[in-house]
Amino acid sequence: MSWYFYWSIAILTISLDLINTEETCGGHDEEYCTARPLFQKEPEINVFTVATHNNHGLERFLRSAKVYGINVEVLGMGKKWVGGNMDHPGGGQKINLLKQKLKSLEKLEDRDRIILFTDSFDVMFLANLKEIVDKFTNMFVRVLFSAESFCWPDPTLSSKYPDTSMTNAFLNSGGFIGYYSDVMAILNYKKVRNNDDDQLYYTMVYLDEEYRLKHRIALDHDSEIFQNLNGALSDVELVLNSTEDYPYIKNVVSNERPLIVHGNGPSKLKLNQFSNYLANAWSVSKGCKMCDEKYTVLKDDALPNVLMAVFIEQPTPFLEEFLTQIEKVDYH
């Protein structure tokens, strides 16, 4: 009986190990993936962004993080921005601020600690950290950058990318997720000045084939986690239906439901539109939920004057009826 008991335990151990390797590595060979313990604890994750001052974009970003229970550490608040004009190449200061912060975490380094970084003024979270981390770990890479359809800021580098056949072939620095040791290696690739371009920096790291393979750096071509809107507005639709109370966006090309959205470049107006509905801002059953968050009751004598401008730029039917409705608006 004792011999049978120990034999059973041996069989069980081997079986669990086989299941662990297959589920963790997805059938990839040993060079591609490193198996993790079956009963490993949930990885620690730190979420960072950079903002030197507050504005509506940052408030929107932090609100979306709060909706999904995400604790974000804002780096650089109150410091002078010396990273250049964000409408042009620049942003190296973001790299240096993140590097400085991560150095302070060196004593906490472990293989499973995950770092998530995103821009702030034009970004929204659309899911909780568990969904984001689960999606990332199932990709079996060490670092994942968001991807877009434009090779910016240096289009001449497009020919150096390993594969440009997919829709979103090029790196975007507005969001990335990866394991601490690999992210630190990327940040230490070379020195960067505050007014250097952060996207160019990360692009050069990615185009270094030896470095890319060593640290298993990949791009989120299908927008499984990161959805960049610039150049992809026709690929993204806002979904409102009766099966889910809260709207979400879907990439109709990849059939993915992105977990973080980035209104990069000239797509910020579209993000402004989406933000009226995303991150539980609007409910199919209850309408504007975000309106209740900022609802303030004032006495009549404290009500401010509101100026509304209506521009009629072309012949418009039912104009009189429309203006009558405007006249009847009572905002309190």
Asked if residue 151 has pLDDT above 80, the reply is yes
Please give the pLDDT value at position 332.
56
What mean pLDDT is predicted for residues 265-271? 96
What mean pLDDT is predicted for residues 16-37? 44
143-148 and 114-118 strand pairing: unpaired
pLDDT digits (tens, 9 = 90+) for 166-187: 999 999 999 999 999 999 999 9
Please give the pLDDT value at position 294.
80
Q: 3-class SS at 108?
A: helix
pLDDT digits (tens, 9 = 90+) for 74-86: 999 999 999 988 6
d(CA 308, CA 97): 42
> Minimum mean pLDDT among 41-45, 311-315, 328-332: which range?
328-332
For the chain, what is the mean pLDDT?
Answer: 88
What is the residue whose two structure tokens read 């809107």? Answer: 229
d(CA 47, CA 73): 6
Please give the pLDDT value at position 63.
99
- pTM to 2 decimal places: 0.83
**Residue 51: CA atoms inside 13 Å, Cβ hemisphere, count?**
21
**Bond prior to 258 in cis (omega within 30° of 0):** no
For domain 45-283, the CATH class is: alpha beta
Please give the pLDDT value at position 48.
99
Which is more confident, 109 or 120? 120
Please give the pLDDT value at position 18.
38
Query: Positive or negative CA dihedral for 57, 97, 228, 289?
Result: negative
**Residue 145: CA atoms inside 13 Å, Cβ hemisphere, count?**
28
Asked if residue 12 has pLDDT above 90, the reply is no
Asked if residue 267 has pLDDT above 80, the reply is yes
Angle, vertex CA 259, rays to CA 83 and CA 86, nearest 5: 15
Confidence at 285, pLDDT banded by 50, 70, 90: very high
Task: Spell out the domain ranges in the chain.
Answer: 1-39, 45-283
